[in-house]
Chain A
Amino acid sequence: MAIAAGNVCKRFEDFVALDDVSISVPEGSLTALLGPSGSGKSTLLRVIAGLERPDAGRVMINGRDATALRPQERGVGFVFQHYAAFKHMTVEDNIAFGLSIRKRPKREIKARVAELLGLVHLEGFADRYPGQLSGGQRQRMALARALAVEPKVLLLDEPFGALDARVRKDLRIWLRRLHDEVHVTTIFVTHDQEEAMDVAEQIVVMNDGRVEQAGRPRDLYEHPANEFVMSFIGPVNRIGNEFIRPHDFELRLEPNGSTEEAMIDRVVHLGFEVRVEFSLRDGSQAWAQLARAEADQLELHAGQILFVRPDASKVFTGGGAGI
């Protein structure tokens, strides 16, 4: 394991940020810490980087106990949500910072910076100041700065959180490709489940300072350990004590014995897919997700009576998973 955090606890006055958290991250992997705000994911990342001191627990980095080490001794690269660019330095000096601290020869620094500028597609921006760059460019510069010292571990704290939706999507594809090129063990924090599913090989779902579940994106989606994971990773309907994904409804115009009667409240066309919102006879509401062709065939419209049946659903009992 490249990174292992064991039984980490951290509280800020009355607020318990991390409550006995353990995670392990395999060498060379790309792992997402996913959770709502206040779930402790950023605190965990900062504990791993040494920017926050845990009240209890241990942090191992590449087999070495790093718990007592200062940030500068850990060999980690850290990227902040708001870039933390050195505003008084040019892009070149920003990227060269770690190398010049290590007193590398000038020529070597120059060559390495040029190489990194290429890697993050900022050729020609070497003499600019961070204030002259866009948010996306600043974040790529921050990433190059973190990579310059060849860290054993790269930690990204909501790296795309301050960027607009389009740039976010571009950058996360780019991050995925970059990781394939550089292969440095990477953990990134996000509250966006789509982003986590898109980029990460492993997702650690956090809530209320605890780890709810860790695993591959597909496993989490198909076999969520509990209600929280199911509803956080992907949309979900709750009918009684059953949890049903919107694409797991079967919609029919005629009853077949196992279906329930429902009335359509609204039909929303979202390009390829169609969202059908309906109410059941007991008053509970749910929505189903259909391909457009299917919706067109059924000629769905508001006010229509139809018959629904979940193809698959989950019932969680006392924290364990069930079908």
Chain B
Amino acid sequence: MSARGARLGLRTAALGYLFLLLAAPVGLIFFRTFEHGLGPAWEAVTTPEAQHAFYLTFVMIAIAVPLNTVFGVTCALMLVRSRMPGKALVNALIDMPFAVSPVVIGLALVLVYGNDGWFGGWLTERGIQVIFSVPGMILATIFVSLPFVVREVVPVLREIGTEQEQAASTLGASGWQTFRRVTLPSIRWGLTYGIVLATARSLGEFGAISVVSGKLSGQTETATLFVEQRFHQFDLTGAYAASMVLAVMALTTLLAMNFLNRRRTH
């Protein structure tokens, strides 16, 4: 085969793969959502349950992402800049949410915070319910979206090195001033990229939340759980419409990511 033929073949294979596995299913969701026109789809995603589900997903993101951002930057600074012992262990632990299935994470949270868990009883006595309630779901979301900011910021910190920070300190800047005026602006693109990834991950989280939520409609149901629930109750329009909204949100984050990636390489 000629080089051109090979290139053409490769391209066709890659595009075909993408079409069958990504574009076709997402496109079908789009098609099915609007099969019966705009009206039913709109109604399906504006029911109180649906609204509450999207609201809850938003709450998850609004709490988990900022926390993981602050933690992620602090942790990355510690991993790259400090000489403290136990760094290797922290480094390995951070990747755990990547390696462990979300369902297992959910179960682990139940073991620790459930009524029979380590802290569960103590917390219940004080009127705090974590499992089968929103706090547990937030914990699960934090857990699964934890590595992104750290993993995006660490290489950037390594690359910029310490000289700019040292220069700032000889010019009279305190630790905080150096961080705010030199370090933070230098890592801003990596940080933003990490935040976008963490948001996308929180948006789509299903497994861990499904275990710890209890799936009470209108109470502990996020958008992804709402889709599943509608699907099981044969409300396909509802399931497809909610999926649609999730897909559009994910697509928006994806586009933001792409845009940032281009900024970053400049």
Q: B interface, by DSSP: helix, strand, loop or mixed?
A: helix
Considering only CB atoms, which chain B residue lies closest to A81 in the complex?
B163
A97, CB-defined interface residue at 8 Å: yes
Considering only CB atoms, which chain B residue lies closest to A76 in the complex?
B170
Size of A's binding interface in residues, CB under 8 A: 26
Q: Tell me whether B172 and A84 are in contact (CB under 8 A).
A: no
Q: Which of A160-197 contact B (CB under 8 A)?
A: none
Q: Tell me whether B163 and A101 are in contact (CB under 8 A).
A: no
Q: Tell me whether A146 and B166 are in contact (CB under 8 A).
A: no
B164, CB-defined interface residue at 8 Å: yes
Determine the distance from Cα of A39 to Cα of B170 in the docked complex, in whole angstroms. Answer: 24
B174, CB-defined interface residue at 8 Å: yes
Q: Which of B18-43 contact A (CB under 8 A)?
A: none
Residues of B within 8 A of A72 (CB): 169-174
User: Known contacts A86-B182, A88-B185, A88-B186: does B166 contact A78 (CB below 8 Å)?
Assistant: yes
Q: Tell me whether B166 and A84 are in contact (CB under 8 A).
A: yes
Looking at the assembled complex, report how far the CB atom of A3 sits from the nearest CB atom of chain B, in whole angstroms.
15
Residues of A within 8 A of B74 (CB): none
B 244-260 binary contact with A (CB < 8 Å = 1; else 0): 00000000000000000
Q: Which of A112-164 contact B (CB under 8 A)?
A: 142, 145-146, 149
Q: Tell me whether B170 and A97 are in contact (CB under 8 A).
A: no
Residues of A within 8 A of B168 (CB): 86, 97
User: Known contacts A84-B163, A86-B182, A88-B186: does B172 contact A77 (CB below 8 Å)?
Assistant: no
Q: Which of A78, A85, A101, A146 contacts B173 (CB 8 A)?
A: A101
Q: Which of B135-179 contact A (CB under 8 A)?
A: 163-164, 166-174, 177
Residues of A within 8 A of B185 (CB): 88-89
Determine the distance from Cα of A86 to Cα of B167 in the docked complex, in whole angstroms. Answer: 9
Determine the distance from Cα of A49 to Cα of B166 in the docked complex, in whole angstroms. Answer: 10
B 178-200 binary contact with A (CB < 8 Å = 1; else 0): 00011001101000000000000
A80, CB-defined interface residue at 8 Å: yes
Considering only CB atoms, which chain A residue lies closest to B178 in the complex?
A72
User: Known contacts A86-B182, A88-B186: does B167 contact A78 (CB below 8 Å)?
Assistant: yes
| B contact set with A: CB distance below 8 Å | 163-164, 166-174, 177, 181-182, 185-186, 188
- Pick 17 A–B contacts, CB within 8 A, sort by A: A51-B170, A70-B169, A72-B171, A72-B172, A72-B174, A74-B170, A78-B167, A80-B167, A84-B163, A84-B166, A87-B186, A88-B186, A89-B185, A98-B172, A146-B170, A149-B171, A149-B172
The 5 closest A-B pairs by CB, nearest first: A98-B171, A84-B163, A84-B167, A78-B170, A71-B169
